[in-house]
Structure formats: structure tokens, C-alpha cells
């Protein structure tokens, strides 16, 4: 294990991904504990090194320019030999994905609480012309104090088509907006679609649109509307909350909420003025049991879908791009 990166003493490893490692580090100068995300060039395919490191550097630049309670603070970007690293705020809590995958039920009040913080952060970033492009439970942390934190701005503000030259999708398939799939220019309303998918998942425990494979998932996202959340959890979702979610999941940006603030206001109205306060201990607690349906959802949602998607596009790039071209033509005809 590394002993030091820049001015940061490495204390221990706290996480590992496909290409990177996250360490807990000590900043002697600022007298604070930090999280350090590091990647080595040697762990990345030679053909992808330039793109991966450029995206990593962009994450530090974009996130470092934002200062909001619900966005993880980035302190430093650095490179040492084979390693590039980002030092950031150390968070104590859990990924929202872990709570969802555990089968934890969320009350309407808790959904309002979580979405309010997320949308406040998105309003802030959108006002600064930063579109996250990959809002999903794995990129949202819930701290032990009940604070939502957005992480991973690695593809934020990148102006390119849906596929990179290496065949990787810019975004996560279950949460991507239709305009992301067809490679159209996107704005903050694409993040609001992704937030709508998350809200649906929090209310029901299920994703709104799932196909048997990536191609079918794309078709569903482009052409089908999910059943209203109240059909799945009638005891938890009111018609007013149904209407909010379904508007957020509209296929065309102009049919959705036009700002995160508008979306948040609609949720508050649907929740009603007599909404009880949220119990922080309850919202952050992991449930003791996992129902069979949630185990099924977990198997679908927790797979490394980005890697699967990348391999599929490499193997069938021409076919996949032809499919996207057809979807793009149909989608844009409806817009115009």
C-alpha cells in the first residue's frame, strides 16, 4: 500500500473499484482526515489512459469549483508517477444504493427529505452550468447525520455523444434520460429525469423500467412509461406523489420540471403541510431483513452494468450505433 500521496499520509484502504482505490488519509497541514481516490495508469488499458485520466482530472476541477452542503468537497488533485489522485471530504455513512439494495422501506416523508437535499444541490450546480450526468444511488451518500452528499462528477459537463471512442456509456443505463441515449445535447433537465428514477425507486423499491437486456431497457426508456408508483406501493404513495414522479420521467425535457427547484417544490406540495418530521436514526438504519423481491432487485441493480454495457458495445458497436441512430431520428422527429 502507498505510504503517502502529495502532502497526505495514507492511513488505510477503505474501498476499491474496477480501476481505483479509495484511501483514508491524514492532512497534517489542515489537521483533518480526508478520503483519497487514486488510480494507476498501469490498471487502465493503454488505449483508454488518456480518456480516463482526463475524466478523472475533470472530476476534480468541476467538483472543486462547487461549494454546497450536499456536494462532497474536493480539496486537491495531484499526480505522482503512475498515480493520479483526488483528496476530498471524508464522509461517514453509506451509499444510498446500499440502503435501497438492503430492502429498506422509505416513507413518503423520508423520500421528500432525501429528494429535497438532492434537488437543492442540483439547483446549485445547474445554476453554475454544471450538469452531473450520472445521478444514481451509487453516487449519493447518506451520512450518519442524515445529510445527502453527491459524489463523482467524473462525466459532468463533458460535451460529447453517448459513446466514447472506447465504447463506454456516459451515464448509467437505468438512470439515463432518453436524450442521453440518443446523444442529444443535454442540460439540467436530464439530471432531473435521473432524479425521477431515483424517487420512483425510493417510493417503490423497484426501478421504473427494466428490460431483459440493455437493448430492451433502451427501448423501454425511449418509448414506454412505467406504471405509477402507487400501483406497486398503494399504502405509501398518494395520487399527488404519483403525478410528481411521472412528470419527472417524461420522455421529453420540455415536459418535465424545468428546474430542480420546481421539482422540489412539487414534492413538498405533494407531501402536504402536515408531513411529520423525519427520524434521522430511522432513515440511516439498515433493515434487519431482506424480502425476496428486494433480493431480486439487488441482483439486477448491483451488477457492474457499466462494464457489461461497455463490453456489449465493443462486440456489437456497428449494430448498436445503428440502433441508436434510428432512435435518435424518431426521438428528434417528435421534438421538431
Catalytic residues: 134
List alpha helices for 17-64, DSSP H.
Answer: 49-64
Q: How many residues does the chain have?
A: 336
The string of DSSP letters for 115-177 reads HHHHHHHHHHHHHTT---S--SGGGEEEETTS-EEE---TTTT--S-SB-TT--BSS-TTT--
* Residues with Cβ within 8 Å of residue 270, at least 6 apart in sequence: 238, 240, 241, 243, 244
C-alpha cell at 150: 453527491
CA–CA distances in Å: residue 89 to residues 38, 75, 157, 206: 14, 7, 22, 31
Q: Which residue, 142, 31, 159, is CA-closest to 96?
A: 142
For residues 112 and 267, the answer to whether their CB atoms sit within 8 Å is yes
Q: Give the integer Cα–Cα distance in Å for 159 and 183.
A: 10
How far is CA 51 from its chain centroid?
20
Backbone angles phi, psi at 205, to 5 degrees: 80, 5
Amino acid at each position: 500500500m502507498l505510504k503517502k500521496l502529495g502532502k497526505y499520509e495514507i492511513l488505510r484502504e477503505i474501498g476499491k473499484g474496477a480501476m481505483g482505490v479509495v484511501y483514508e488519509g491524514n492532512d497534517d497541514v489542515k489537521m483533518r482526515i480526508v478520503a483519497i481516490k487514486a488510480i494507476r495508469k498501469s490498471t487502465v488499458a493503454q488505449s483508454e489512459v488518456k480518456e480516463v485520466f482526463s475524466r478523472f482530472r475533470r472530476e476534480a476541477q468541476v467538483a472543486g469549483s462547487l461549494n454546497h452542503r450536499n456536494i462532497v468537497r474536493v480539496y486537491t488533485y495531484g499526480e505522482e508517477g503512475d498515480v493520479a489522485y483526488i483528496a476530498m471530504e471524508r464522509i461517514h455513512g453509506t451509499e444510498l444504493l446500499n440502503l435501497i439494495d438492503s430492502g429498506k422501506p422509505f416513507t413518503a416523508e423520508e423520500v421528500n427529505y432525501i429528494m429535497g437535499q438532492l434537488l437543492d444541490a442540483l439547483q446549485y450546480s445547474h445554476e453554475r452550468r454544471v450538469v452531473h450526468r450520472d445521478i444514481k444511488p451509487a453516487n449519493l451518500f447518506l451520512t450518519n447525520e442524515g445529510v445527502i452528499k453527491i459524489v463523482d462528477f467524473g462525466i459532468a459537463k463533458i460535451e460529447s455523444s453517448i459513446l466514447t471512442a472506447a465504447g463506454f456509456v456516459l451515464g448509467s443505463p437505468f438512470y439515463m434520460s432518453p436524450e442521453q441515449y440518443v446523444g442529444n445535447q443535454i442540460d439540467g433537465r436530464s439530471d432531473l429525469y435521473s432524479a425521477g428514477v431515483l424517487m420512483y425507486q425510493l417510493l417503490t423499491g423497484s426501478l421504473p423500467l427494466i428490460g431483459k437486456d440493455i437493448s430492451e431497457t433502451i427501448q423501454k426508456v425511449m418509448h414506454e412509461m412505467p406504471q405509477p408508483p402507487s400501483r406497486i406501493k398503494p399504502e405509501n404513495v398518494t395520487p399527488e406523489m404519483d403525478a410528481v414522479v411521472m412528470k419527472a420521467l417524461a420522455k421529453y425535457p420540455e415536459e418535465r420540471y424545468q428546474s430542480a427547484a420546481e421539482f422540489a417544490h412539487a414534492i413538498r406540495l405533494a407531501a402536504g403541510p402536515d408531513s411529520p418530521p423525519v427520524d434521522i436514526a430511522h432513515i440511516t438504519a439498515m433493515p434487519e431483513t431482506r424480502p425476496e423481491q428486494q433480493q431480486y432487485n439487488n441482483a439486477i441493480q448491483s451488477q457492474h452494468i457499466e462494464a457489461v454495457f461497455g463490453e456489449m458495445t465493443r462486440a456489437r458497436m456497428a449494430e448498436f450505433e445503428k440502433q441508436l441512430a434510428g432512435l435518435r431520428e424518431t426521438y428528434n422527429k417528435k421534438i421538431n
